[in-house]
A and B are shown apart, each in its own frame.
Chain A
Amino acid sequence: MSMPALKTEVTTAAMPAPVIAAPVVTLTPKSAPRAEKYAKMAREAAVRVVPPLIVLALLLVVWELICRRAGSTLPPPSRVFKDTKELILDPFFDHGGIDKGLFWHLSASLQRVALGYSIAAVAGIALGTLVGQSVWAMRGLDPLFQVLRTIPPLAWLPLSLAAFRDGQPSAIFVIFITSVWPIIINTAVGIRNIPQDYRNVAAVVQLNPLEFFGKIMIPAAAPYIFTGLRIGIGLSWLAIVAAEMLIGGVGIGFFIWDAWNSSHISEIILALFYVGIIGFVLDRLIAGLGKFVTHGTSVS
């Protein structure tokens, strides 16, 4: 039975020379595959970019047609562009007070968000770890969190104004209180879902609680934590615009309110555009950070 197998082995072994000599490798110019790669990348980019651009163009046309008629309450896109040309072209002017370029308004809002959100991230991860790790902390705190997180952000504003007696810390507090809940809840879920295997590994290696926190808990829960952080950044950007409308001063929210009071509808539309773009960028930023930190295991 093994004879035929042996025979083929012998025949193939007998004539290896022509087999090796046969393929002659010709050197192809190196630029060809690179150009091909760029073409492929361009094609992929086009597939992503072209459809939304077409939809955007269609929407602008429809908007233009609807708002062009006399007596229309909202300006068409062409008017918006004409009215806000100065604001678009020079976002950096500063005439003192609140008469500033859009860059300054946006940067003031972003600073508030950065501060409030950072505090929320630290506090949220710490509290979430506590609630996820300790059954008693969960029993004590979870019901409280579930009630508090349903309170709308702006409902906190009068209370924080009463406490802080100043617009700036109140706005930061509203950002904090808005974004902290999803961070706490997602972190807690992540900590609770750490596989027993990882805990066993830590026990066998005898990690102390601090090492366990840094080397096992945080990395294991990172995908969940970043889900919470992403929801949090979205919510804080939502809240800041509303809060600034009420507290005044420099900020994109107040800019919108001010434009409304002076009936500059075009400026409102421009501000909304910026708010949307920045919200999108913030979201992608946190998602990208999560992807980087968790080596791609985080959902994005």
Chain B
Amino acid sequence: MQHAYLKLDHIDKSFTRGNATTEVLKEINLTIDKGEYVSIIGHSGCGKSTLLNIVAGLTGTTQGCVLLENREVNSPGPDRAVVFQNHSLLPWLTVYENVKLGVDKVFSATKTRVERHAWVMHNLNLVQMAHAKDKRPSEISGGMKQRVGIARALAMEPKVLLLDEPFGALDALTRAHLQDSVMALHQKLGNTILMITHDVDEAVLLSDRIVMMTNGPSARIGEVLEVPLARPRKRLELATNPAYLKCRQRVLEFLYERHRFVEAA
């Protein structure tokens, strides 16, 4: 029997404000293997971002715990690096310095200054951003910022890479381009990736498994879908692939038929 690499064990989460308690997540159980690409999809407000924050350690659980390599993790750390939706680059640092911030901290004991510099440049090269290393975030485009965000996360050599709707704020063309980049990186580096998304095509294209969440409050995992598509995947070839279309259909049915988004009354 294979050990789960990342395990979400009976996670409940509720927020309390005054006397009112809202249960956001209920009984979330999920195991992710090493090197797996798992997406979590659901309507907005279903608590998927909360779930990612719990895995990242930025939010605590009410019940249950997150296990990474059989060790409980409950505070944030570079072993679960996050790529934030709005890139969250520090505007007063250059592209290079933004990536270096994490590298200096994580590898302060294990790498020399020269090695750290080489490692920062290596990661900027991975996302094809080495040419802009001395620019500030305000001087580069949204897609480029997100590339740097990915480089910053990758450079910490995380055990799990957490992507919080990483392409949500980008235009369709840039998004497709960046999705291809992330696929290529996953292929090359074999990272374990947990991604939050609300884009059905993105989920099917990128993931090995798609976790579909029911609507909140008390959202739970409704269904987990395996995507039986061989890698490397090609966007254009998949458009007519029956297995791809079937997966897409399954997710759409789940989201729009069985768990249609109900506007809060």
Residues in A lying within 8 Å of B, measured CB to CB: 195, 197-198, 200-201, 203-207, 211, 215-216, 219-220, 222, 294-295, 297
Contacts and interface: CB of A to CB of B under 8 A. Distances in A.
Contacts of A220: 90, 92
Interface stretch (B3-11, B77-85, B122-130, B170-178): B77-85
A215 B102 CA distance: 12
Contact of A295 (B58, B92, B101, B156): B92
15 contacts: A197-B84, A198-B88, A200-B56, A200-B58, A200-B76, A200-B88, A201-B90, A201-B101, A204-B56, A205-B102, A205-B156, A216-B90, A219-B90, A219-B93, A220-B92
B91 A205 contact: no
Given A197-B84, A215-B101, A204 B78 contact: yes
B77 A206 contact: yes
A13 B91 CA distance: 45
Contacts of B81: 204
Interface of B: 56-58, 75-78, 80-82, 84, 86, 88, 90-93, 101-102, 105-106, 136, 156
Main secondary structure of the interface of B (DSSP, over half): loop
Contacts of A206: 76-78, 105
Given A204-B76, A205-B156, 20 more contacts: A197-B88, A200-B56, A200-B76, A201-B84, A203-B57, A203-B58, A203-B76, A204-B58, A204-B77, A204-B80, A204-B82, A205-B78, A205-B101, A206-B76, A216-B90, A219-B93, A222-B92, A295-B92, A295-B136, A297-B92
A239 B81 CA distance: 51
B6 to A, nearest CB: 16
A293 to B, nearest CB: 9
**The 7 nearest A-B residue pairs measured at CB:** A197-B88, A203-B76, A219-B92, A205-B102, A204-B76, A205-B105, A201-B88
A22 B93 CA distance: 45
A200 B87 CA distance: 12
Contacts of B101: 201, 205, 215
Nearest to A208: B105
A197 B86 CA distance: 9
A204 B77 CA distance: 5
A114 B143 CA distance: 46
A202 to B, nearest CB: 9
A198 B90 contact: yes
Contacts of A294: 92
Contacts of A203: 57-58, 75-76
Contacts of B80: 204
A295 B78 CA distance: 29
A151 to B, nearest CB: 36
A132 to B, nearest CB: 18
A220 B92 CA distance: 8
Nearest to A207: B105
Contact of A200 (B82, B91, B105, B156): B82
Contacts of B91: 297
Q: Which among A197, A205, A219, A222 has the greatest number of chain B C-beta atoms within 10 A? A: A205
Contacts of B86: 197
B137 to A, nearest CB: 11
Nearest to A296: B138
A37 to B, nearest CB: 23
A269 B103 CA distance: 60
A198 B136 CA distance: 16
Contacts of A207: 105
A32 to B, nearest CB: 30
A216 B93 CA distance: 10
Nearest to B105: A205
A193 B93 CA distance: 19
Nearest to B89: A201
Nearest to A197: B88
Contacts of A201: 84, 88, 90, 101
A276 to B, nearest CB: 34
Contacts of A200: 56, 58, 76, 82, 84, 88
Nearest to B93: A219
Contacts of B84: 197, 200-201
A220 B88 CA distance: 12
A197 B81 CA distance: 13
A189 B78 CA distance: 30
Contacts of A195: 88
A297 B76 CA distance: 30
